[in-house]
Structure 1
Amino acid sequence: MNPLPDKRDLVDAAGQFHPPAPDARIVCLVPSITELLCTLGLAGKLVGRTGFCIHPHEVVASIPKVGGTKDVNVEKIRKLAPTHVVVNIDENEKPTVERLAEFVPHVVVTHPNAPSDNLALARLLGGIFGAQEAAERWCAAFEDAHARLRADLIDTNSRAPAPAPARTVLYCIWQDPWMTVSKDTYIANMLAELGWQVPHLGELRYPRFDWSQALVDGLDAVLLSTEPYRFTEAHADALEKQIGIPVLLVDGEMMSWYGSRALAGLDYLRELRAQVEGQAGSVS
């Protein structure tokens, strides 16, 4: 039997308390959180998902789709009669969430903004939906992976930061127009785990930008994400020839999907660091 969760673990990103509801009917509008719910053993409570909720495929294939993250079919959700809808501040539109709140008893708002926020996210979902033990096991695995990453960035002899230099990297999520991420985003905070920073290109969380020599001169590397724009190696090769600094294709799910994929994401950071350091030494 699951112990009663700490009430502090049941408060969502909007400050709303959600009492335990082990018999919940859940619609999840956040792809990475749909995956986490399945990881926690809660797939049987999911009655709706977006078309972008694709992991784990064999589990979610039978769960009805209710549109996309931005173009939610509210009437489909109404017919599914959920007790809970899980949304995200970055992923979902506020007017849509307000419409859902008119007939869904519990709208669970999430907003992980740094890798460590995954712990509270897992405990929130586990606490509400009766999977506290699974959530605690997942949190322990995450903390172990996080500790391994931190240990890899430390010189084991001097206990000082590892010798690889800090980097300024531009993480691109779109082109036509070109768009990137600001410092106050989950992706930027993932990069900060490596001691890297993103340039300040405006006050928006996901600012547009134009290429210039001044911008390029302040960068060590450019990272092209495989999502939401589907950048490819061809894009990376062409841009690298154009701007003359390392340009790498990166796995967008590993860098931006909190929840279940964040475990593998921490290991992926280690690989990314090695790639950037190798490219930095080979491209002049």
Structure 2
Amino acid sequence: MTTRAVDAAGVEHAKAERGARIVSLVPSLTELLFALKLDAQIVGRTGFCVHPRDKLRHVPKVGGTKAVKLDVVRALQPTHVIVNIDENERDTVEQLRAFVPHVVVTHPLAPQDNLALYALFGALFDREDEASALSLALRAQLNAAAARAWPRQHVLYAIWREPWMTVARDTYISAMLRLVNWHTLPDVPGGETGASRYPSFDLDAEWLTRVERILLSSEPYRFTTQHCDALSQHARFKGKRVQLIDGEMVSWYGSRAIEGIAYLVDYARR
């Protein structure tokens, strides 16, 4: 049975022709396209698309995930542009629709959603076998994580400082952490806007007293051991575990999720 290529916006896309030209505006999905062996069809990417490094050198940049250079994209004459609801601005996406035949919208909110993502790209770009192999590998990692009894913990996952920012419960990052029974605080849903999905907070917030473990991410803000040491000395966090964590492993969906789950399981066991 042929899999329908329906994206996160509910748009059904016909199978791409052999000469499809793809621009990816989502770093983790650029990596997925290469994992699906679509190297020859990737004609553009953002400056934040950095994996796989050895294969990206000759792929033209089209700006950032937010500051997309539409004139550069237009000149590349893509048949498909890959976007994400969290990563890319809605206005940019609407402008792309005016001259790109297929704008493929993605929005994975949990590691299990990568299965549908693999199936979508596999069906769209005639890479069903490669997509199936990724799905098998992901299911194995999900099963390995579920096979362990993880103690429940409340965690703070910090992604920025000045102002301090964290993640809401319905983000992909929070869903990843729940694989090892870590639950992010504050206990709020994110909704649809960036500000609510990635809320700011003050270090004197009352809910911080419930936090048992503080995770400082390597991206988008690059936290260091100095930040760990400083927070460890803060009155609110004395005696609590403050650690650095690889943000790419926890927040990148696509093919990286397979390695990311294995990383998280190992990290939680330490």
Smaller-chain TM-score range? over 0.9
> What amino acid sits opposite 2:263 in the alignment?
Y
Taking the aligned partners of 2:141 and 2:210, their CA distance within structure 1 comes to: 32
Identify the match of residue 13 of structure 1 among 8, 14, 25: 8
Higher strand share goes to which structure? 2
CA deviation string 1:221-252 (max 9, x = no partner): 11000000011121112111212121110000
Note the 1:179-198 alignment, pairs <5 A: 179-198=165-184
Secondary structure of 1:116 counterpart: helix
Identify the match of residue 68 of structure 2 among 41, 62, 72: 72
Taking the aligned partners of 2:185 and 2:266, their CA distance within structure 1 comes to: 22
Q: Which residue of 2 aligns with 1:218?
A: 210
Identify the match of residue 235 of structure 1 among 227, 231, 248: 227
Q: CA deviation at 1:88?
A: 0.3
Q: Using the TM superposition, name which of 208-217 and 141-150 deviates more.
A: 208-217
Q: Which residue of 2 aligns with 1:278?
A: none
Taking the aligned partners of 2:117 and 2:187, their CA distance within structure 1 comes to: 29
Q: CA deviation at 1:216?
A: 2.8
Q: Which residue of 2 aligns with 1:117?
A: 113
| Contact residue 3 and residue 119 of structure 2 kept, 8 A | no
| Contact residue 201 and residue 209 of structure 1 kept, 8 A | no
Note the 1:90-239 alignment, pairs <5 A: 90-151=86-147, 153=148, 162=149, 164-200=150-186, 203=190, 204-212=196-204, 214-239=206-231
Secondary structure of 2:137 counterpart: helix
Q: CA deviation at 1:150?
A: 1.4
Gaps of 5+ in 2: 191-195
Q: Which residue of 1 aligns with 2:252?
A: 257
Secondary structure of 2:44 counterpart: strand
Under a length normalisation based on structure 1, what TM-score does the superposition of the two structures give?
Answer: 0.89
Q: CA deviation at 1:200?
A: 2.6
Q: Using the TM superposition, name which of 239-248 and 212-221 deviates more.
A: 212-221
Q: CA deviation at 1:78?
A: 0.3
| Contact residue 222 and residue 246 of structure 1 kept, 8 A | yes
Q: CA deviation at 1:213?
A: 6.2
Taking the aligned partners of 2:55 and 2:94, their CA distance within structure 1 comes to: 29
Secondary structure of 2:12 counterpart: coil
> What amino acid sits opposite 2:100 in the alignment?
V
CA deviation string 1:34-64 (max 9, x = no partner): 0000001011110000011010011111100
Secondary structure of 2:99 counterpart: coil
Taking the aligned partners of 1:30 and 1:213, their CA distance within structure 2 comes to: 33
Q: CA deviation at 1:273?
A: 1.2
> What amino acid sits opposite 2:13 in the alignment?
H
Taking the aligned partners of 1:213 and 1:127, their CA distance within structure 2 comes to: 47
Secondary structure of 1:108 counterpart: strand
Taking the aligned partners of 2:81 and 2:218, their CA distance within structure 1 comes to: 28
Under a length normalisation based on structure 2, what TM-score does the superposition of the two structures give?
Answer: 0.93
Gaps of 5+ in 1: 154-161, 276-284
Taking the aligned partners of 2:233 and 2:128, their CA distance within structure 1 comes to: 51
Q: Which residue of 2 aligns with 1:246?
A: 241
What is the aligned residue count? 260
CA deviation string 1:46-92 (max 9, x = no partner): 00000110100111111000001010000000000000000000000
Report percent identity of matched pairs.
50
Secondary structure of 1:168 counterpart: strand
Provide the alpha-carbon RMSD of the alignment: 1.3
Q: CA deviation at 1:274?
A: 2.1
